[in-house]
Structure 1
Amino acid sequence: MIKSFDSKPQWWTNGGQTQMNESMKRKPVRKPVCFICSALLFDLLLIILIFFISVFQNEIVNQQNIQMQELISKMHYICFDALWIMFLSISSLSYVYYIMCHKLYCETYYIQM
């Protein structure tokens, strides 16, 4: 017997001998929409913190009369560190988001369909 593509599985209509087990009845996991936004907010807070640290270092440098060239080289290192931390945290958090949230959501969603 050939089924058409529009027909639903037996467990959908509870027809025949097939019954829905508990794993098929569970509701889909809520998809955290703002997970990446929270990662970006965390990175923004890190950059603001690094900015205030650099301003504080600038005041210390002005008090100690160190040349401006050394201050600029320190700022380059601080900005590079901030960008590197931002890249690592965004990539790791987005990977965690894909594995733990998106995959679980899709698996439970397709079971429900």
Structure 2
Amino acid sequence: MSRPDRNEKHHLHIELTPQQYKLLCRQARKCGLTKRAFLVRLIEGRPVKARPAQEIKDLRTEIHHIGNNINQIARSVNAGVARPEDAKRGLYLLDQVYELMYQVAKK
């Protein structure tokens, strides 16, 4: 008996109601996947997550920049170069991070 060819493709035809089709399209789009890729992931039991909103991407970028600034301040403090104003600036930046996170969490 021969082994089945692993590259063999099987075609499947299914019928969906208009509401089901719209739901499939919407969910696949939210995940940034084609309808086929979305269904395959569901069948395989792989996680299907919605892509983060642009607002979340922007927040990540902003937090990254603020984190870099805080790291620079920390290095200057450790080197004995920082002034009290630098430490205050670091605390201000940290407050900004918390405020951004709070605003996103509220939505």
What interval of TM-score do these two structures reach, taking the shorter chain for normalisation? 0.3 to 0.5
Kindly indicate which of the two structures has a greater share of residues assigned to helix: 1
Structure index of larger Rg: 1
